[in-house]
């Protein structure tokens, strides 16, 4: 596999970063996960917008322009013959000293991995996912904005550990007010009547690219879409529940904390949106 690392494509065995990189020492950096479908990079502009916004929020200067990053993503896919897969685009603070001060890291590092990802087994898409509610709360936006897609995922990892220990793979994370924020690596949606509901970004949800696409598709299909604060009660009494994410796409949820959601089977609206989403991924994107 060829990896893009600071301006060059290098073999995987040579794709190494320093132990003094603050991305490693402190999780100081930002990233994006992006999908490639049929030789096209899906929603690249939106991912780059979020990457630059995340970097700006942590005063990190990305040493490449949008055009250069676009070219680097395309070249990395082409070098690996990747036509369907997943791009991990990472910007770390770069090499510094052992202290925290990010301004002592003169240059950010950029690396790109173009590979494949399978987040959930295929059966999950047919049969639906069983969630738990994690005891680990989502980090308060006043402490660290969940809109920053940073390399520091420990909060999510603690909740993920709870999910795995409970015999499943994903967990709902609540915010410090008790409202639903999101899952450890996906946004959450509910269907109630002919209305779609998803927690607002202010509740601690990442402004997911897939979330945005699904909201737009749903509106186009005539459904109302709202972003109210949601409680566990709202989840338990919803008609349908599903998750969205770049790697996961749209995943039906059939139970939460051992309670069936709706019919306990993947819902009709979820499946209709999945169809529409798949069609969109096959027909749009930045050609490699």
Integer CA distances (angstroms), 153 to 101, 158, 275, in order: 20, 9, 31
Q: Based on CB atoms, which residue is closest to ligand PMP, 44 or 95?
A: 44
Q: Which of 43, 149, 160, 279 is catalytic?
A: 149
Q: Based on CB atoms, which residue is closest to ligand PMP, 96 or 208?
A: 208
Cβ at position 139, least distance to ligand PMP in Å: 10
Active site residue 149: yes
3-state secondary structure of 103: helix
Cβ at position 103, least distance to ligand PMP in Å: 27
CA-CA distance, 44 to 218, in Å (whole number)?
A: 21
Handedness of CA 108, 109, 110, 113 (dihedral sign): negative
Cβ at position 95, least distance to ligand PMP in Å: 26
CA-CA distance, 85 to 154, in Å (whole number)?
A: 25
First and final C-alpha spacing in the chain? 17
CA-CA distance, 204 to 84, in Å (whole number)?
A: 31
Q: Based on CB atoms, which residue is closest to ligand PMP, 96 or 146?
A: 146
Cβ at position 13, least distance to ligand PMP in Å: 27
Q: Based on CB atoms, which residue is closest to ligand PMP, 2 or 184?
A: 184
Outline where the chain has alpha helix (H): 22-26, 44-57, 66-79, 122-127, 154-165, 209-220, 232-236, 268-283
In the block, residue with structure tokens 């999945």: 274
Q: Which residues bind ligand PMP (CB under 6 A)?
A: 33, 156, 182, 185-187, 206, 208-211, 244-246
Integer CA distances (angstroms), 288 to 71, 211, 273, 284, in order: 9, 24, 26, 12
Task: Say if residues 217 and 241 touch (Cβ distance below 8 Å).
Answer: no
Cβ at position 99, least distance to ligand PMP in Å: 28
Q: Based on CB atoms, which residue is closest to ligand PMP, 133 or 210?
A: 210
Q: So which residues are the catalytic ones?
A: 149
């Amino acid at each position: 596999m060829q990896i893009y690392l600071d301006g060059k494509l290098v073999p995987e065995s040579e794709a190494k970063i320093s132990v003094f990189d603050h991305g490693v020492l402190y999780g100081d950096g930002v990233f994006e996960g992006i999908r490639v479908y049929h030789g096209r990079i899906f929603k690249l502009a939106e991912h780059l917008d979020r990457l630059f916004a995340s970097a700006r929020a942590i005063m990190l200067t990305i040493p490449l322009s949008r055009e250069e990053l676009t070219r680097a993503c395309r070249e990395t896919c082409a070098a690996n013959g990747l036509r369907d897969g997943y791009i991990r685009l990472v910007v770390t603070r770069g090499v510094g000293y052992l202290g925290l001060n990010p301004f002592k890291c003169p240059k950010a590092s950029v690396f790109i991995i173009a590979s494949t990802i399978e987040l959930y087994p295929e059966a999950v898409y047919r049969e639906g996912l069983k969630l738990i509610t994690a005891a680990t709360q989502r980090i308060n936006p006043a402490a660290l904005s969940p809109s920053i897609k940073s390399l520091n995922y420990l909060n999510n990892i603690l909740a993920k550990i709870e999910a795995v220990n409970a015999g499943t793979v994903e967990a709902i994370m609540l915010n410090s007010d008790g409202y639903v924020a999101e899952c450890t690596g996906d946004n959450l949606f509910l269907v109630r009547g002919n209305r779609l509901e998803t927690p607002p970004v202010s509740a601690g949800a990442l402004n997911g690219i897939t979330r945005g696409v699904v909201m737009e598709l749903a509106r186009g299909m005539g459904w109302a879409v709202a972003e109210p604060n949601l409680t566990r009660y709202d989840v338990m009494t919803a008609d349908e529940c599903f998750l969205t994410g770049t790697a996961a796409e749209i995943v039906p949820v059939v139970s939460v904390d051992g309670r069936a959601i709706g019919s306990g089977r993947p819902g009709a609206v979820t499946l209709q949106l999945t169809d529409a989403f798949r069609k969109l991924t096959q027909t749009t994107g930045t050609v490699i």
